[in-house]
Amino acid sequence: MPVTVEVRGRVLLVRLDRDAKLNAMDREMTLGLDAAMNRLEDDAELWVGVLTGNGRAFSAGSDLADPDRNSTERGGPYGLIRRARRKPLIAAVDGLAFGGGFEMALACDLVVASGRARFALPEVKRGLLALYGGVFRGARALPLNLAREMVLTGEPITAERAHALGLVNRLVEDGAALSEALALADSICANSPVAVRESLGIVNQANEASDALAWQLSTEAAARVRASADSREGIAAFLEKRAPVWRGR
């Protein structure tokens, strides 16, 4: 299975396990992650979730070879991006989190990362748009000018820089992101789950008050980008492993 789950006390550990594709999300992975997130929300015995990736990456984002990769009724893209969650979800990032992978980390409540983690929104390099909240969630989690730099250049930032600027809660040695995320989850589980849920709800709902407009703008912009020749060229160049030739239209 490309998505596996493990219960550790009150914590649901969810692993993206498609290392050969850098945990890029296809339809099967989306359905697996959606089922795991449904279980986290619906099981009263589970209080906190931890999401991580097996192998070299947290996730490289969408598998462009699979046009039917998302979304789901409860979670939206990847089964996670637009989910209304009541329980804390921690991202344990021990490799690259690019594109939709970074957007999944931004959809979590806390981020633990190792020194080898990298974060990027490289969609512009493929004639695409960071459609799953990366543009506006990144601008909330990071200084505005850095968020602009990431979406305009597509270049990654290091875990050290992300930690210094507040995106990453805890920075750890390589290979230690998951153990630190589980320790953080346990510290949350020591508290009242009712109080935790209500507190998280206030923080998230207040922070996301403008999301309806942001999603509308993202959808409209994505439609314009998808209709462009550049978008078709970017995807073709990626699949053919060559440099794209941009037309600007």
Active-site residue set: 103, 123
120 close to 157: Cβ distance less than 8 angstroms: yes
Instruction: Please provide the size of the chain in residues.
Output: 249
Backbone angles phi, psi at 206, to 5 degrees: -65, -35
Give the SS3 label for residue 212. Answer: helix
Q: What is the DSSP string of 166-181?
A: TS-SEEE-TT-HHHHH
Residues 6+ away with beta carbon under 8 Å from 172: 112, 113, 114, 115, 180
Q: What is the DSSP string of 58-72?
A: EE--B-TT-TT---B
